[in-house]
Amino acid sequence: METKAVIEILQVLLPLLYGGLVIVYALCFFGDAPVLDRVRTPLIWITLALHIFYLGARTTAFDHPPITSVFEIMTILAMCIAVAYLYLEVKTKTRNTGFFILLLAFVFQTVSSLFIKDLLTIPEYLHSLVLGFHVSAALLGYTAISLSAAYGFLYLMLYHEIKSSRLGVIYTRLPNLEALETMSHKAEVFGFFMLSIAIAIGLFWLPRVFENFSYWDPKLVGSVFIWVLYAAGLAAKRTLGWQGRKTMIISIVAFGFVFLSMTVINLYLSGFHSFH
C-alpha cells in the first residue's frame, strides 16, 4: 500500500527533522551561524507541513485520527509544541529559546516514532465525541506544561548564571528572568486548567465505557498525582509567596512525572490508555 510506505518514511523522517531543527537552533544559540540563522524558521515550517501531512495520512490510512494511543498522542503533542514555539517566535521575535523547546518536540516525536503501531481496527468506544474533548483538552494541557517546563529550565539556568556571576552564552542570549518566569507561570496555569478538564472528562466518561474500571488504575493514579503536584505548586505560589526558583523546580519536576507516566506506565504497566 502506497500511503503506508509514505507513513513509514515520515515516521523515520520526522524525528530526524526535529533532531535537525534542534541542532540548527543549538548552533545558532551557542555560536555564530549566519547561514543557519536564515534557514531555521523556514525549516520549522517545512517540518510542520510534513508533520501535518503525516497525521493526515495516518488518519486516512487507519481510518481514525491518531488519538487512540499514547504514542499517537505524542506525535500530535510534538507538533503542538512546535506550533506553539513557532507562534511565540513570530510573536515575540526572540528566536533564542528554540533549542530548548524544540528539544521537547524532538523527544516526543522520537518516542512516538519508536513505539507507534499501525492500528487498523479500534474499539467502538474510541469513536466518541467525548473522547475528542478529552484528548483536545489533554493535548493543550500537555503542550502548555511542556512549554512551562522548558521556560522553567531556562529560568533556572539564567538564575544560576546571574547568581554566581559567571555570565556566559545563556546570559547573553536569553530573555530576562522575569519574562521567563512569567512565560513559564502563564503556561503552567493554562496547562493546569486544561489538564483539570481532561481529567474531569475522563473520570466522568471512563466508568461508563469500561466494565472493569478501577480508580486504582496506574494511569489514573499517575494523572491525579501529577494534577496534585501542579495544584500544590500553584497554591504555594499563591499562599506561601513562592517565587522564581522554587516554582520553576516544581514545574520541571511535575513535567518529569508527566513524561514518566506517559512512557513508563504505558509501557510496563497495563492501564486504560493502552487499549489493545
Partner 1 sequence: MNLLSIGISHHTASVDVRERMWLSEQEIRGALTELRDHYFSECVLVSTCNRTELYGITRRPDVDEPALKQFLIDFKGAGDAVQGDHFVGRVAGAAVNQLFRVASGVDSMVIGDIQILNQVKEAFALAKDLGAMGPVLNRLMQSALHVGKRVRTETSICEGAVSVSYAAVEMANKIFADLSKKSALLIGAGETGELTLKHLVGKGIGQVRIANRTREKAEALVASLSGAVVDFDRITEALHDVDIVITSVNSPSAILGPADLQKVMKQRSNNPLFIIDIGVPRNVNPAVKKIENIFLYDIDSLSAIVDRNLERRKAEIPKVNAIIDEESIAFFHWYNSLQVGPTIHELREAFEAIRTDEVGKNINRFTSEDRELVELVTKRIINKILHQPLTALKKGAEDGQGDNETLTRINALRELFGISRDRGALHDE
**CB 144, CB 191: distance < 8 Å:** yes
SS3 127: coil
- Asked if 213 touches partner 1 (CB under 8 A), the answer is no
Contacts of residue 205, defined as CB under 8 A and 6 or more positions apart, other chains included, come to 128, 130, 131, 134
Q: Exposed, middle or buried: residue 76 (CB in 10 Å: 0-12, 13-18, 19+)?
A: buried
Smallest distance from the beta carbon of 176 to partner 1, in angstroms? 5
Using rule CB under 8 A, residue 245 touches partner 1 = yes
User: Which residue number, 168 or 256, has a Cβ lying nearer to partner 1?
Assistant: 168
Q: Is 265 in the site for partner 1 (CB under 8 A)?
A: no
Among residues 216, 241, 268, 276, the one that binds partner 1 under rule CB under 8 A: 241
Of the pair 16, 162, the CB lying nearest partner 1 is at 162
CA distance 216 to 51: 36
Among 1, 2, 121, 163, binds partner 1 (CB under 8 A): 163
Name the minimum Å distance from CB 100 to partner 1: 17
Q: How far is the CB of 178 from partner 1 (least distance, A)?
A: 4
Question: Is residue 177 within the footprint of partner 1 (CB under 8 A)?
Answer: yes
Q: How far is the CB of 58 from partner 1 (least distance, A)?
A: 41
User: In 132-156, which positions are buried (b, 16+ CB within 10 angstroms) versus exposed (e)?
Assistant: eebbbbbbbbbbbbbbbbbbbbbbb
- Closest to partner 1 by CB, 83 vs 179, is 179
Q: How far apart are CA 166 and CA 73, in angstroms?
A: 40
| Whole-number Å distance between alpha carbons of 39 and 75 | 24
Size, binding site for partner 1 by CB under 8 A: 18
User: Which positions lie near partner 1, rule CB under 8 A?
Assistant: 158, 162-163, 165, 167, 171-172, 176-179, 182, 241-246
